[in-house]
Structure 1
Amino acid sequence: MTLGGAVAGPGPGATHHERRGTVTWLCYGLLGFFSYFINSLGPILSFLRADLDLSYTVTSLHSSAFAIGMIVAGVSANLLATALGRRAVVWLGGAGMSIGTLVLVVGRHPAVTVTGALLMGCLGSLLAVMVSAVLADEHGPRRAAMLMEANVVASACGMVAPILVGAVAAVGLGWQSAVVAPIALFGLALARFRSQPFPVPVQSLGHGAGSPGERLPGPYWAFWTVLLLTVAVEFATLFWAAAFLEDVAGLSRSAAAAAVSLFLGGMLVGRFAGSRFMLAGRRGGSLLLVSLVTATVAYALYWWSPGVPLTLIGLTVMGVGTANLYPLTLSLAIEAAGGRTDLAATRASLAAGVAIVASSIVLGRLADLFGISAAYGIVAVLLGGAIVAALFALRLAASAAAPVMAASTTP
Structure 2
Amino acid sequence: MSAIAPVRMVRDRATWLIYLQLGVFATYLYGLSAALPLLRLDQGTSQAVAGLHGTAMAAGGIVTGLVLSWLTARIGRRAAGWTGVAGMGAGTLMVAAAPTVLPVTLLGYLVAGGMSSITLYSGMAALDDHHGPAGPAAISEANAVCVFVGIGVPFVVSVAAQSAFGWRAALLVTPVLAVLLALTMGRVRIPEPGAGAGAAAAEEGRTRFGWRFYLAGAVLFCCVAMEFCFNLWAAKLFSDQTGLPAAVAATAVAAFTAGMAAGRLTGAWLALRTDPTVLFLGALLVTAAGWAIFWLSTDPLFSYAGLAVSGVGVALHFPMALSRVLAASGGRRDRASAMASIFTGLAVGIGPFLLGALADGFGTQRAFLMVPALIGLAVGGLLITAVGRPRAGAVEPA
- Please report how far the alpha carbon of residue 163 of structure 1 lies from its aligned counterpart in structure 2 after TM superposition: 3.3
Supply the distance in 2 between the matched residues of 1:370 and 1:77 (Cα, whole angstroms): 39
- Please report how far the alpha carbon of residue 287 of structure 1 lies from its aligned counterpart in structure 2 after TM superposition: 1.0
Aligned to 2:376: 384
SS of the aligned residue for 1:293 comes to helix
Contact 1:291 1:324 in 2 (8 A): yes
- Please report how far the alpha carbon of residue 81 of structure 1 lies from its aligned counterpart in structure 2 after TM superposition: 0.6
**Which residue, out of 129, 134, 138, partners 1:137?**
129
Going from structure 1 to structure 2, the CA distance change for 1:247 and 1:303 (only over 3 Å counts) comes to same
Supply the distance in 2 between the matched residues of 1:79 and 1:272 (Cα, whole angstroms): 33
* TM-score normalized with structure 1 length: 0.84
Going from structure 1 to structure 2, the CA distance change for 1:175 and 1:366 (only over 3 Å counts) comes to farther
Contact 2:129 2:193 in 1 (8 A): yes
The answer to which of 305-314 and 138-147 deviates more is 305-314
Supply the distance in 1 between the matched residues of 2:60 and 2:299 (Cα, whole angstroms): 37
1:311 aligns with 2:303: yes
Supply the distance in 2 between the matched residues of 1:169 and 1:261 (Cα, whole angstroms): 19
SS of the aligned residue for 2:293 comes to helix
Going from structure 1 to structure 2, the CA distance change for 1:109 and 1:251 (only over 3 Å counts) comes to farther
1:35 aligns with 2:35: no
Going from structure 1 to structure 2, the CA distance change for 1:166 and 1:263 (only over 3 Å counts) comes to farther
Aligned to 1:231: 224
Contact 2:257 2:308 in 1 (8 A): yes
**Which residue, out of 268, 279, 282, partners 1:275?**
268
**Which residue, out of 180, 186, 190, partners 1:194?**
186
Structural RMSD (CA): 2.8
Contact 1:301 1:310 in 2 (8 A): yes
Aligned to 1:161: 153
Structure 1: 5+ residue stretches without partners: 4-16, 405-411
Aligned to 1:183: 175
Q: Deviations over 1:19-57 (max 9, x none)?
A: 211110011111122123223444322333444344343
Contact 2:224 2:348 in 1 (8 A): yes
SS of the aligned residue for 2:201 comes to coil
- Please report how far the alpha carbon of residue 190 of structure 1 lies from its aligned counterpart in structure 2 after TM superposition: 1.5
SS of the aligned residue for 1:20 comes to coil
Aligned to 2:69: 78
Q: Which has the higher contact order (CA 8 A, sep 6+)?
A: 1
Aligned to 2:85: 94
SS of the aligned residue for 2:331 comes to coil
Aligned to 1:266: 259
**Which residue, out of 181, 203, 208, partners 1:215?**
208
Aligned to 1:6: none
Going from structure 1 to structure 2, the CA distance change for 1:58 and 1:210 (only over 3 Å counts) comes to farther
Going from structure 1 to structure 2, the CA distance change for 1:240 and 1:32 (only over 3 Å counts) comes to farther
Supply the distance in 1 between the matched residues of 2:242 and 2:28 (Cα, whole angstroms): 25
1:357 aligns with 2:370: no
Aligned to 1:9: none
Aligned to 1:44: 35
SS of the aligned residue for 1:323 comes to helix
Aligned to 2:15: 24
The answer to which of 48-57 and 133-142 deviates more is 48-57
- Please report how far the alpha carbon of residue 129 of structure 1 lies from its aligned counterpart in structure 2 after TM superposition: 0.9
Alignment-mate amino acid for residue 183 of structure 1: P
The answer to which of 286-295 and 207-216 deviates more is 207-216
The answer to which of 86-95 and 242-251 deviates more is 242-251
Aligned to 1:68: 59
Aligned to 2:318: 326
- Please report how far the alpha carbon of residue 60 of structure 1 lies from its aligned counterpart in structure 2 after TM superposition: 2.6
- Please report how far the alpha carbon of residue 244 of structure 1 lies from its aligned counterpart in structure 2 after TM superposition: 5.2
What is the number of residues matched between the two proteins? Answer: 386
- Please report how far the alpha carbon of residue 243 of structure 1 lies from its aligned counterpart in structure 2 after TM superposition: 5.3
Going from structure 1 to structure 2, the CA distance change for 1:372 and 1:180 (only over 3 Å counts) comes to farther
The answer to which of 327-336 and 282-291 deviates more is 327-336
- Please report how far the alpha carbon of residue 248 of structure 1 lies from its aligned counterpart in structure 2 after TM superposition: 6.6
SS of the aligned residue for 1:207 comes to helix
- Please report how far the alpha carbon of residue 109 of structure 1 lies from its aligned counterpart in structure 2 after TM superposition: 3.8
**Which residue, out of 97, 103, 107, partners 2:94?**
103
Going from structure 1 to structure 2, the CA distance change for 1:380 and 1:164 (only over 3 Å counts) comes to farther
Supply the distance in 2 between the matched residues of 1:215 and 1:73 (Cα, whole angstroms): 20
Contact 2:21 2:119 in 1 (8 A): yes
The answer to which of 365-374 and 81-90 deviates more is 365-374
